[in-house]
Structure 1
Amino acid sequence: MSKGNNWDYQLEPSELSRIIEMAWEDRTPFEAIKTLYGMDEQAVISLMRRQLKPSSFKLWRQRVSGRVTKHERLREPAVSRAYCPTQYKR
């Protein structure tokens, strides 16, 4: 049921919800979403654009743009994981 990069059609509602939640979390890098769901940063941005209201998408983009914690390569080397084991919901 693939429609190019339109990941919405390939995801269960619970997966879609979790990806959106992970995208909003400050300390969850895009690389963690790619590892778990195979979606790179551009795919997450496209998904968020389709799933959020325009004002919410704009707020999210402002929030994550340039945020060091959303990109593993920009993080301090001491940060070795993307989540607290007790919050992991998959």
Structure 2
Amino acid sequence: MPTTLKEFTPREHDRIIEMAWEDRTPFEALLFQFNLREKDVIKIMRNTLKPSSFKRWRKRVNSGVSQKHLKKRNPDITRFKCSRQTAISGNRISKR
């Protein structure tokens, strides 16, 4: 059974929101890292974001632009990190 929102630390909760906002991070990554299915992520986003922000996020996730679903993703994309993005350390992007 997936973890509930109450069991996450504030840092983990923030990371879940951040990963959900990122277009290149698929829901499968959230399932792997936090044991959260797509519907659980949607519940967290609905309870955390303002209604207008949630609607904007859902519209973007459901659009053809989003890469949130591995099955819909272009098979040429084999990673979720941008090629121009620098190394990530402790969930923070390193400064150049």
Structures share fold, TM-score greater than 0.5: yes
Structure 1 unpaired stretches of 5+: none
Contact 1:32–1:82 (Cα < 8 Å) also in 2: no
Runs of 4+ in structure 1 off by over 6 angstroms are: none
Q: Report if the CA contact (8 A) 2:20-2:27 is conserved.
A: yes
What is the root-mean-square deviation of aligned Cα atoms in Å?
2.2
In our comparison, the structure showing a higher alpha carbon Rg is: 2
What per-residue deviation string (whole Å, max 9, x for no partner) do you get for residues 29-86 of structure 1?
Answer: 1111111100011000011001111111111111111344111111122211223572
Structure with higher helix content: 1
What corresponds to 2:49 in structure 1? 52
TM-score (structure 1 length as normaliser)? 0.82
> Gapped runs of 5+ residues in structure 2?
none
SS of residue in 1 equivalent to 2:71: helix
In the TM superposition, residue 7 of structure 1 has moved relative to its aligned partner by: 2.2
Q: Work out the number of aligned pairs and report it.
A: 87
Query: 2:20 & 2:41 partners in 1: Cα distance?
Result: 8
Identity of aligned residues (%): 46
